[in-house]
Amino acid sequence: MLNQRQIFGEKGESIAVRYLKKKGYKILEKNYRTKLGEIDIIAKDKDTIVFVEVKSRRSWQFGNPKGAVTPAKQRKISKVALYYLKTNDRSNAKARFDVVTITATRDKSKIEIIKNAFELAYE
């Protein structure tokens, strides 16, 4: 059974998928999971594979959702992205990391795509 936070997160991911489709992205995978971690959305934007992290907030109390994609989270996403590219025979494909932020307050909702939000990060 999902808790309120998980339900809100899933709702945010659904909103992000619809928004990305409107912007011309083709959705390849949702909630792509491996033993290394998870990527919220894998999409294609023209000839580029895009690994998308979705961050949703109900308020600005904890700051801008962009800040929630920490260096540790970037490393984890990077590892999963490399695994995806390798196992899908796309090692030579152009790829990038985007972040979609959704801030849904009582007054209004704001959606933003940060393209090339971070570079490949690994250690």
Tell me the two tokens of residue 85: 């590219």
- What pLDDT digit, counting tens, does each position of 61-103 carry? 555 656 678 889 999 999 999 999 999 999 899 999 999 998 8
Domain membership of residue 123 (yes or no) is: no
85 burial type by CB count under 10 A (0-12 exposed, 13-18 middle, 19+ buried): middle
**Which of the two residues, 1 and 18, has the higher pLDDT score?**
18
**pTM, entire model:** 0.87
Domain membership of residue 70 (yes or no) is: yes
What CATH number should be reported for the domain holding residue 52? 3.40.1350.10
Residue 55 has pLDDT above 70, yes or no: yes
Comparing CA positions, the residue from 93, 81, 82, 34 lying closest to residue 53 is 81
Mean pLDDT of 98-121: 86
- What pLDDT digit, counting tens, does each position of 3-16 carry? 666 565 677 788 89
**Which of the two residues, 3 and 17, has the higher pLDDT score?**
17
Domain membership of residue 49 (yes or no) is: yes
Query: In the chain, how many domains are there?
Result: 1
Comparing CA positions, the residue from 28, 59, 40, 58 lying closest to residue 98 is 40
100 burial type by CB count under 10 A (0-12 exposed, 13-18 middle, 19+ buried): buried
Q: Taking all residues of the chain, what is their mean pLDDT, rounded to a whole number?
A: 86
| Residue range(s) defining the domain that contains residue 72 | 4-118
Is-contact 44 50, C-beta < 8 A?
yes
Residues 43 and 14: their CA atoms lie apart, in Å, by 14
